[in-house]
Amino acid sequence: MSLRTTPKGAVQTDAHASDASRNASAQIAPHNHSTHLKVTLPALLEKKRSRTPIAALTAYDFASARVVDEGGIDLVLVGDSLAMVMLGYESTLPVTVEEMLLFTRAVRRGVRRALLVADMPFGSYHASVAEGVANAVRFLKEAGAEAVKIEGGRSRAELVRALVEAEVPVVGHIGLTPQSVHRMGGYRVQGKSLSAAEHLLEDAHALEAAGASLLVLEGMPRELAAQITAELQIPTIGIGAGPECDGQILVLHDLLGLTFAPAAKFVRRYADLGAQMRAAVQQYGEDVAARRFPNDAESYHLPSETRSQMEQHAQGSQRKKA
């Protein structure tokens, strides 16, 4: 397969729900989303065909998931990035299946409209295809996910086929794959040479042929992501891969300024909630120290009759002591 230049913006036009999943959905607090259609995989495919961009974000808990869902986002990913932004690990590698299931269940309760995708953590699908399928089924059955995301290219094709046969929709992920951080020698842009770019093109086609429904393209040259997007029939979701992808995704904490490290080149911060939160916490501490919080209006009061009785009782006690 040869690498060729693709015109900007060029795009080819050409689950079984378990009882546990239904129970998880039934526990979601009601949203005012009656006028919005549920986002499905076919709906995202139609967005690609109509060249309508797909908006995706991560979420890790009920509150953030509900805000993201009510904001009209199409796809919510419970990313293994929660290892860093929620649990304080230095990479995505330590997070476990049980931890990912816990957070996915919380997000499920907050999402009504968006398609919910869960990351398969490192080690949950690497030993064998059978183990990967068993773990993936848990995300749909126990946590209410509607698809799982796995990292890797053609080497994952057999797993993707097995997952699809088991009625588990798959989102692929190629390019900069954080679970391969040690092999890559750090978080480095991938596909910069001709051979590396052709390798990623072949990976993309292999995952599509195996049955993947979507493909995340991370940390690769814009021109390469544009060509992959143009050649594939399935939608591509970019992160650090340029604007020609069919959709974009960011880590919610990066978007809101809730991280403690410099932002990557591809991150656009839409708010600095970290600074606002620190200012609010500092002001609260100062108000408590100066006894400005709570004030009288923020306090509860006894009924007047009870207060009179207590005052009389206190006066009687003082007379006895005298």
Residue 11 contacts residue 45 (beta carbons within 8 Å): no
Q: Which residue has the tokens 């990913």?
A: 77
Residue 200 near residue 159 (C-beta atoms within 8 A): no
The alpha carbons of the chain give a radius of gyration, in whole angstroms, of 25
251 burial (CB, 10 Å; 0-12 / 13-18 / 19+) is buried
Q: Which residues are catalytic?
A: 218
CB atoms inside a 10 Å sphere around CB 316? 10
Phi-psi region of 218 (alpha: psi -120 to 50; beta: other; left: phi over 0): beta
Phi, psi values for residue 143, rounded to 5°: -120, -5
Query: Which amino acid would we find at residue 86?
Result: M
Q: How many CB atoms are located within 10 Å of the residue 68 CB? A: 24
